[in-house]
Chain A
Amino acid sequence: MTATTEAQAGTGLLRPQTGRIRRAAARVLLSDHFVLWLSLGYFLVLLPFLPTLGTPANLANLLSNAWPLLVVALGQTFVMTAGGIDLSQGAVIGLTSTVAAALIATAAPPEVLGRAPIWGTLIAEEGGIFAGQVWVGILAMLAVGALVGLVNGTLVALLRMPPFMVTLVAMMTVSAFAIWLTQSENIRNLPEGYVQLGKGQIVSVYFGPQDRPEIPRRELHAVIGQAALIAVALTLALHWLLERTAFGRQVVAVGANRRAAEIAGVPVRRVIVLVFVLSALCATVGAILYSARLEAGRPTLGEGTFLLDVIGATVIGGTSLFGGKGKILWTVWGVLFFVLLSNTLNMMNLSAFHIDMVKGAVILAAALLDVARNRLARSTG
């Protein structure tokens, strides 16, 4: 009998409180800005231990790392929301950066590129055949990128092949093709106008005494550069496309229930093809920013764990791997968190292996979080 009364008292006391805590947890977890709060919390917790974390130089560095990753992740967000995945984005970055450099480089050393199959046709000692013509290079990149996306999308949509397989094969072949083009060499001597797209600064800040007529360049910290403008403009445009257009809602519908979408008159195949083209185009814009910063076209630019960063940032933001659920804003916060994570891990003097191990664990945590959010979304009002 005592046990019963105790249990009664227990439930009476505990029930409302656990309810309140659960509801509060749900509000935070289900917020669009959850990952932003997470990033800020992470930043504040680590600030006392990593004194360089909050310096203007590091913050400028953080931002400049974020822009290209963001641009690529935007495309991945669209593909995932439509229920797919694009593993070929890294390879597209390698190929398009190489193609642009081969066309517009202003000079090329024969001892480096002499053995490349494109030597003498696309590029020679005096540079590429469109040496210095930045816009030609960019248009060519976009065309090559769009072509890869079109092939991916067509195979997925028309032949109903799994996106994972299609883009895995694309990743292998496109990447190998890029490496073959230059025999794995980088192409340098990019025109200044191109380099400025990645490094050009528009607003910079300087913290220090005003006693010198000229401020040394390395003490100037970029706040807004050309890369930032490109990335922000693309983010806003794609946010609008996903949230405020019929096409965007159809992307969500295809990811949520392809059969229902088809019956409802959604042009399912067209949506899938366009989503993969969009993803490859985003990767291409990412390639511009990365190769401009590097001041070289590099066939292996998007290799290694780059894909981990893109998919990790997108999933951590909250876009579902199963499709039907994705927001551009989520990806912005996901990229912010991922860049912050890489940055802090670097500061802790961890080896590259340790860094990847931690990143892997974080992606796992993000996947678990996705499951938890889904459960919460279903059980609370």
Chain B
Amino acid sequence: MSAILRFEELGKDWFGVPAVSNLTLDVPEGQVLGLIGENGAGKSTLMNMIGGVTEPTRGRMLWRGRPYAPASAAEASAAGIAFIHQELNLFTNLTVAENLFIDGFPRRGGLLRGLIDRGAMQRRAAGLLARLGLDVPPERTLDTLAPGERQLVEIARALHREASLIIFDEPTTSLTPRETERLFAVIEGLRAEGRTVIYISHILGDVRRLSDRIAVLRDGRLVDEGPAASFDVPRMIRSMIGRDLAAVFPERTRAPGSRPVLEVTGLSAPGVVENISLTVREGEILGLFGLMGSGRSELARLLMGLDRAAGGEVRLLGRPLAGGPRDRVRSGMAFVTENRREEGLMMDATIRENLALPGIESFSGPAGLDRGRIAATAEALRETVRLKAGDLGRQPVRALSGGNQQKVVIGKWLPVRPRLLILDEPTRGVDVGARSEIYAIADRLAAEGAGILMISSEMEELMGLCDRIAVMSRGEIVAEFARPAFEERRLLAAAFRSGAAPASEPATGTEG
């Protein structure tokens, strides 16, 4: 089978740090190539080069044997390459059909020459949707569609453009298990039609199942490549992180103390949470498990003073908290929100500027900010959280990979030595290596005496890391388990309020 796309000694530097180096790889025509690697391994940079978003620093690409150097996304699209991203590139206020034909509406002839031929557009759109087994009327607007349906519209657009290479980048992040199954069937169908697919995902089982071949990137280099049949998940992980994953979860350094750090009694906010009582002790990691919409993130916002509670009390180290987020931060609370772009980071500011923000007032002297100390603190944090970055004082956070961005969000709290750290979905969209580093940071903080409240919809990580797990359901805490009693079935039963067992398993990471 010949290569539809070939990379020859391809390289790209960002801020002096190679993101991709000396990459030579064939993408065989008509097959599914699985591409895996940690965040920051170079997958996104590689995709950006294929898509004409960034230019390689070295080497070249060959598309059907000819040199290929797209200067824009439009050129990549014209060549026959389509991208299906995590964040979809659709117009939610337009109809399905309009989205499909946005770059070239069918026109009428004759008297009404030039006007959009709506009839033809609907018919052709319906045909495309039928090929994907998507049963929605083409005149529906996009915002009425479920995430999985929107994704199929995006794929339909690729079919409409006659794309011969379709690249899927973490396509299942916002899909339900049923939608995921349908997507996989569609991908099988695309391959059967002779189209080429590149499938990028952190979910290694999916990659193995879908792919004909698998390629592994680490630190910008191709470290492993071969037929999917020869890859098992341990080999994939070993190649990705360069070592055996003995334990993702750290041995806990110290047993939790007895002094309570956070005491919540009877906290209520109508329609959000009801009569919440919980305690986090010194050195303890308390997990908060619950399904989407159970009120976990809302509880965190209440604790942080971002929203107002109607009743109840929150005490930190014995002192009642009343004020807004500023007062709570000053009295020792820290909050890592579930969406780092919107609430965690200044994307265009430098890494150093981001790391310095929560503690900025402590760097202040009579002559103004001590910039030497800020720089030194940032460098120390680079080591502590194992940040893979270039010049901290120049590189914007935007230029970091997702996992490294998350390390900045957590790292920026360390200089203020929080007494209570709230982590809301801290490992969402983060690869396995960065994950274990984030767990290690949580363990270290706990060992230093901080209390940690860890919100997650991934039961596995809660069971691996926490001392206790509280389960939330419909705004209430319905159960609490100590470590010896951790059991997947019981946690789930509590989350679903036992008896009424649901059809599907809890949706992991479907909120974002």
Contacts and interface: CB of A to CB of B under 8 A. Distances in A.
Interface stretch (A139-147, A172-180, A264-272, A285-293): A264-272
Given A11-B69, A324-B348, A381-B15, A246 B353 contact: no
Interface in A246-291: 246, 249-250, 252-253, 256-257, 259-267
A263 B67 contact: no
B384 to A, nearest CB: 18
A19 interface: yes
Contacts of B65: 4
B466 interface: no
Contacts of A218: none
A253 B344 CA distance: 11
| Candidate in B55, B304, B325 with the most chain A CB atoms within 10 angstroms | B325
Interface in B8-49: 13-16
Contacts of A46: none
A169 interface: no
Nearest to B13: A381
Contact of B343 (A240, A259, A377): A259
Overall SS of chain A's interface: helix
A165 to B, nearest CB: 24
Overall SS of chain B's interface: mixed
A249 B371 CA distance: 12
Nearest to A381: B15
A244 interface: yes
A378 B168 CA distance: 24
Contact of B330 (A256, A260, A265, A379): A265
Interface string B134-153: 00000000000000000000
A266 B67 contact: no
Given A263-B337, A324-B346, A325-B348, A249 B60 contact: no
Given A257-B345, A267-B326, A4 B67 contact: yes
A256 B346 contact: yes
A217 interface: no
Contacts of B7: none
A8 interface: yes
B487 to A, nearest CB: 34
Contacts of A261: 346, 357
A4 to B, nearest CB: 5
A264 B357 contact: yes
Contacts, number: 101
Interface size of A as a range: 20 to 34
Contacts of A4: 65-67
B335 interface: yes
Interface size of B as a range: 35 or more
Nearest to B333: A265
| Candidate in A240, A256, A325 with the most chain B CB atoms within 10 angstroms | A256
Contacts of A136: none
A262 B369 contact: no
B304 A246 contact: no
B486 interface: no
Nearest to A253: B357
A265 B358 CA distance: 6
A265 B325 CA distance: 6
A253 B66 contact: no
B54 interface: yes
A212 interface: no
A377 B397 CA distance: 12
A245 B365 CA distance: 9
A242 B305 CA distance: 28
Interface of B: 13-16, 54-55, 57, 60, 65-67, 69, 304, 306, 325-326, 328-330, 335, 337, 342-349, 353, 356-358, 360-361, 363-364, 367-369, 371, 390, 395-396, 398-399, 412, 416
20 contacts: A4-B65, A245-B369, A246-B361, A253-B349, A257-B343, A257-B347, A260-B344, A260-B345, A260-B346, A262-B325, A263-B337, A264-B412, A265-B329, A266-B326, A267-B326, A325-B348, A377-B348, A378-B398, A381-B14, A381-B395
